Amino acid sequence: MAKTKSAAGSDRDEQPSRNGQPGRSGKADGGQSSDEQASKEQPEPSGGNAPAKESNGKLDGLGRERLQEMLYQMLLGRRFEEKTAEAYAIGKIGGFCHLYIGQEAVTVGAFEPLRPDDYVISAYREHVQALVKGIPPRNVMAELYGRADGCSGGKGGSMHLYSAEHNFMGGWGIVGGQVPLATGYGWAIKYRGEDRVALCFMGEAAVNQGAFHESLNMAALWKLPVIFIVENNRFGMGTAWERASSLYDISQKASAYDMPAAVADGMDVLNMRKVVKEAVDRARTEKTPTLIEARCYRFMGHSMSDPVHGVYRTKEEVEEHKELDPIRRFIDQLKEASLLTEDELQAIDKRVHEEVDDAGEFADNSPEPTEEALYSNVYASEDVAGRLYFDGRRQS
């Protein structure tokens, strides 16, 4: 099993920008921490190099069909977000809206080892995670539109997508607030003696929150099957990670809890999947939590109101990272391994476009929530004596 990383976190000497560079180093050492010292001392769970085609015509043990399904998921995520941007621009979507473009490999790779009964919770940049966990695009888009058919009945919106049926436990609006909840799912799994796991996604900026530390301690102390995946896309809004944390290497923070940790290349779906799979297997069998730093990059602005580049990063930096586009990269890998033909790619692309268009149409035609919905589901048990509401409009 993975040992806790143990470098003195002394990579402060290195340029964070280099260090924080996803892909580059990431691809080279297939998920090794870029902190050589550490990786020499003890290999990351992910180990190995870039995927090699196997005799059986598989990549990392994944067959053609599964691999193409993953590509489909990545493309679906990409196109869905592009559609979302359009809809937002013309006012069909309101509130805050945070796009996932550029980070698709993290989610698609991380979800591959999951079972439907595994729990997933994330923050507010969760549209694609909701889709990949199985919520139909129609219901996700309808939620963004604030319609009755939305996966949260139009009450949650972009930051609060839910589906009990798919064990998608939500987006979350409070940075770090979802981490204790995920730990609670882990607790429930242990309580019931199940072999499920809970995946908790967060942005790197959430790592500074006390809730993160309190949760990791309990997860390690109680041996809970929770996998904490930090999407280090380099920025928390306009703040580069190195301006917010005294230590760049996030996986190192697990050593404070004697918890297994790993760094994954969040721009490489296969490496991402490999690293998470090892953690998931360990969680199912040994019930140990893992902290995974997924090094990735946000291609768009923080939210729809934030320009793609500006005070906190240059156009050049963004362009440079777009070179690492995880989707293009995966397509190349598959073609190289002749596990994808151009026709197959076109077919997938067509399927994705149709689904996304259908989602938009469905959302357009979905009704607004009715006035009755205003006071529904505030409480689960309203069959109580006495008054629950005090606005004089709805007396229970």
Partner 1 sequence: MATITYREALNQALAEEMERDEDVFLMGEEVGLYNGAYKVSKGLLDRFGELRVVDTPITELGFAGVGVGAAMVGLRPVIEFMTHNFAMLAWDQVFNSAAKLHYMSEGQFNCPIVFRGPSGAALQLSAQHSQALESTYSHFPGLKVCTPATPADAKGLLKAAIRDNDPVVFMEGELLYAMKGEVPDDDDFVIPLGVADVKREGSDVSIITHGKMVHVCMQAAQKMEKDGISAEIVDLRSLRPLDVEAILRSVHKTNRVVYVEEGWPYVGIGAQIVDIIQDEAFDYLDAPVARVTQADIPMPYAKQLEKMAKPSAERVIEACEKVLYRTV
What are the residues binding Mg ion (CB under 5 A)? Answer: 203-204, 233, 236
How far, in whole angstroms, is CA 91 from its chain's centroid?
26
How near is the Cβ of 206 to ligand TPP at its closest, in Å?
4
Q: Judged by CB, which is closer to partner 1: 16, or 95?
A: 95
Q: Which residue among 214, 306, 344, 358 contacts a second copy (CB under 8 A)?
A: 214
Q: How far is CA 108 from CA 65, 86, 253, 368, in A?
A: 15, 23, 25, 32
Indicate the angle between helix axes 326-336 and 64-89, nearest 10 degrees: 160
State yes or no: residue 380 binds partner 1 (CB under 8 A): yes
Q: Decide: 76 and 130 in contact? Cβ < 8 Å.
A: no
**From ligand TPP, a second copy, Mg ion, none, which one binds at residue 69 (CB under 5 to 8 Å depending on kind)?**
none
17 binds, among partner 1, Mg ion, ligand TPP, none (CB under 5 to 8 A by kind): none
Helix (H, G, I), strand (E, B) or coil at 207: helix
Residue type at 5 in one-letter notation: K
Q: 102: alpha, beta or left, given left = phi > 0 and alpha = psi -120 to 50? A: left
Give the C-alpha separation, 108 to 387, whole Å: 47
Are residues 127 and 84 in contact, defined by beta-carbon separation less than 8 angstroms? Answer: yes
How many residues touch a second copy under the rule CB under 8 A: the total is 31
* Cβ count within 10 A of residue 12: 13
Span interacting with ligand TPP, options 42-50, 56-64, 67-75, 229-237, rule CB under 6 A: 229-237
Strands (E), 276-351: 290-295
Q: Which of Mg ion, a second copy, partner 1, none is residue 3 near (CB under 5 to 8 Å by kind)?
A: a second copy
**CA dist., res. 296 & res. 267, Å (int):** 6
Residue 145 or 299: the one with the smaller Cβ distance to Mg ion is 299
Contacted by 220, from ligand TPP, Mg ion, a second copy, none: CB < 5 to 8 Å by type: a second copy
Instruction: Give least dist CB 196 to partner 1, A.
Output: 10
Cβ closer to ligand TPP: 175 or 331?
A: 175
Q: Does 52 bind partner 1 (CB under 8 A)?
A: no
Selected from 1, 28, 89, 256, the binder of a second copy by CB under 8 A is 256
| Least distance in angstroms from the C-beta of 271 to partner 1 | 28
Q: Which two tokens stand for residue 142?
A: 């309808």
Cα(294)–Cα(292) distance, integer angstroms: 6
Q: Per-residue x/- mask for partner 1, residues 140 to 169, rule CB under 8 A?
A: ------xx----xxxxxx-xx-xxx----x
Q: Which residues have C-beta within 8 Å of that of residue 352, sequence separation ≥ 6?
A: 72, 75, 76, 79
Name the site residues for a second copy (rule: CB under 8 A).
3-10, 12, 208-214, 216-217, 220-221, 244-247, 252-253, 255-259
Name the site residues for ligand TPP (rule: CB under 6 A).
125, 173-175, 203-206, 233, 235-237, 298, 302
